Amino acid sequence: MYKTTLLNAVQAGAAQLQHFFNGSFSISTKEGINNLVTEADHAAEKAIIEIIKADHPDHFILSEETGEIKTDSEFKWIIDPIDGTVNFSNGIPLCCVSIGLEKAGKMILGAVYNPFMNELFFAQEGHGAYLNEKRIRVSQKDTVIKSCLVTGFPYTYLDSPNGPLQVFEKLIRQGIPVRRLGSAAIDLCWVAAGRFDGFYEHSLQAWDSAAGFLMVEEAGGKVTDYEGNHYSPYQPHLLATNGKIHDELLAYVRGEK
């Protein structure tokens, strides 16, 4: 029942992305530079929430643009109607709809859909991760120097030691490829699919990572915060890897290498 709702919702959101993509739509700016929200974000969010509310009217919803729709339910839907809004607004097809479902504080389902690449990622707790219904697994690289990594940068930079630019510089000065796609949800799914060996980011919101971190775990990878603790989407730091390079990459992001 919940899987059907999830897949219907992510597809409804994606239909709005396709409708507006490379078309004319309004764009406004939230707090910070280039922190955009578009007419398509609102349309996708509306379509997603309508489907969830029709099937499960008593469930809690946390969505990027609407915020919290609070209830006493143990089920919480965590929604990013467009992850990669800057890409979307510039006609770059690296963007997606991301929805996670949490039960009693534990993520149980996740879906990430990029309709422009026809890639629908799905994960269920204890049942694996899938790309277009085909099982996916993380990579087998065993050292950071051999790895291909991905990261993201916050829109505003805190003047803190070992920040995102410093970590990035350390890695690329050693010749380690580090990409930036502009969508944390896609980054996580591509780690799950073995395209990347690791992903780190210093500042994320719950809707950025709720579905994607479950994808990595169900594909056999490891996800923690920067202290090495089990990941919670309600704190900002995320490190996701194939598991084999986790401790070594953690040392980089912590400033220990």
For residue 154, the model assigns a pLDDT of: 78
Question: What is the dihedral angle through the alpha carbons of 48, 196, 179, 132, rounded to the nearest 10 degrees?
Answer: -30
CATH 3.40.190.80 for domain 144-253: yes
pLDDT by residue for the chain (257 residues), tens only, comes to 899 999 999 999 999 999 989 766 665 565 555 556 678 889 999 999 999 999 999 999 999 888 889 999 999 999 999 999 999 989 999 999 999 999 999 999 999 999 999 999 999 999 999 999 999 999 999 999 999 999 998 766 656 778 888 999 999 999 999 999 999 999 999 999 999 999 999 999 999 999 999 999 999 999 999 999 999 999 999 999 999 999 999 999 999 88
- Where does 2-135 sit in CATH, by number? 3.30.540.10
Domain ranges of the chain: 2-135, 144-253
Query: What pLDDT is recorded for position 73?
Result: 97
Say yes or no: do domains 2-135 and 144-253 share a fold.
Answer: no
Rg of the chain over all Cα atoms, to the nearest angstrom? 17
- Quote the CA–CA distance of 168 and 166 in Å, as a whole number: 5
Burial class (CB within 10 angstroms; exposed 0-12, middle 13-18, buried 19+) of 94: middle
Q: How far is CA 230 from CA 76, 223, 226, 237, in A?
A: 19, 7, 10, 11
Q: By the 8 A CB rule, do 189 and 140 touch?
A: no
